[in-house]
Structure 1
């Protein structure tokens, strides 16, 4: 009975608490959002040295778009200029092949000296009459001769006389004869008169006829803006005697248009 009343004592196994585990914290982060540090993680000295050596990274400001806008505007401007050049070239080519423009032609028919004398003040007075023929060779282009047209006679870079050109319209393939009266006075004319008399003995006196005529071109029903016809005729005459019809031995005329 006593044996049955004895209490049996069984050994109790006491489990030891598990060792603390290292929390999963990324390397390099030592504090949480609340500022607590992780006692089980120490940053390596190499990382500390590297973090002190590198300067702080400063974000760059955003790039400005002004440069790109300027380049875009420049490209469009060059493109428009090129397009305008192509358009003008196309219009000029069309006008050339449709109307086939030609320069007007001029010829000196006669030259008469009405007066050529020395005055008492030794100035040289000259009065010439010139007959010229203006020819418009164009089939589809008319020419308006505007006011302020001039013609002058020169001898060795000295203007002897001048006169105005009349205003008129010259139609297609038209030929117009103009009789012009030119007059002028030159100071220190004794030297010029002596040179003319000396060359008159040879029968070869050079003269220059210069023309400056503002004209407007008419293409069909369209009248374009005015341009200038500039011309020069180099003449070789036999004499400059007064009241005498001069014989023109040689004539060379050149004309061009100027905007």
Structure 2
């Protein structure tokens, strides 16, 4: 009975278990952006350290605030000064009512108009100028350093200076001013004068004057300014020791600080 018994293996369709997943690499203990040792990763050792962090935003805002405050103070002070100067000028104008002085050429005399051996022309003029101050409360103090010149066709004939004096309110002053000088290229100049006289019967002259003055408002004297006067004169001749008639004259006046 024992011989006839056979043991047959049982065949079961048992599915084979799944294969285990491949082993995962272990994460490094030290991050990649940090060196592990003095002789660690060469790539990491060659990297430069990160830049320093930017300054806090509060410091920038405080600097901008200081600049804005300073600019506002400066503009405010400037506006106050401009307004104060404008108000002062307006008050002075309303109180004193300033008017420009007036000048006119009354007479012109020629005492010398001679040719010399070196082809130069010696000229001496005597001018009579009337200066008027039309202001009621403003005086004019004429200072030194003045200069006046006479020209013909752009050529300077002679020059001189105005005297120093003080001109009070509503004052009219007559000035006698001598001018003398020498003009070059006298032959050509004399020919031009002769031709001008034959064609028009008159000779145009131009006067330029520069006069430093100080304006006086009551007892207050202002800083020094300069009067500039330009006059155009037409005379009938320039013969020495001869009566000269002024056909027309006009003057322009301006100030320069």
TM-score normalized by the length of structure 2? 0.76
- 1:49 counterpart residue number: none
How many Å apart are 1:245 and its aligned residue? 2.5
Structure 2 portions without partners, runs of 5+: 1-52
Distance 1:125 1:119 in 2: 7
How many Å apart are 1:67 and its aligned residue? 1.5
**2:152 aligned with 1:163:** no
Distance 1:196 1:223 in 2: 46
Aligned with 2:56 (options 55, 58, 61): 61
Structure 1 portions without partners, runs of 5+: 1-57
How many Å apart are 1:209 and its aligned residue? 1.1
- Give the 3-state SS of the residue equivalent to 2:134 in structure 1: coil
Matched ranges for 1:1-259 at <5 A: 61-64=56-59, 65-201=62-198, 202-259=200-257
Distance 1:119 1:60 in 2: 86
Contact 1:110 1:245 in 2 (8 A): no
- Number of aligned residue pairs: give it: 202
Contact 2:148 2:208 in 1 (8 A): yes
Q: Deviations over 1:178-232 (max 9, x none)?
A: 0010001112122111101111223221100111100100000011111000011
- Give the 3-state SS of the residue equivalent to 2:224 in structure 1: strand
TM-score normalized by the length of structure 1? 0.76
Contact 1:146 1:213 in 2 (8 A): yes
How many Å apart are 1:68 and its aligned residue? 1.0
Distance 1:147 1:117 in 2: 31
Contact 1:200 1:240 in 2 (8 A): no
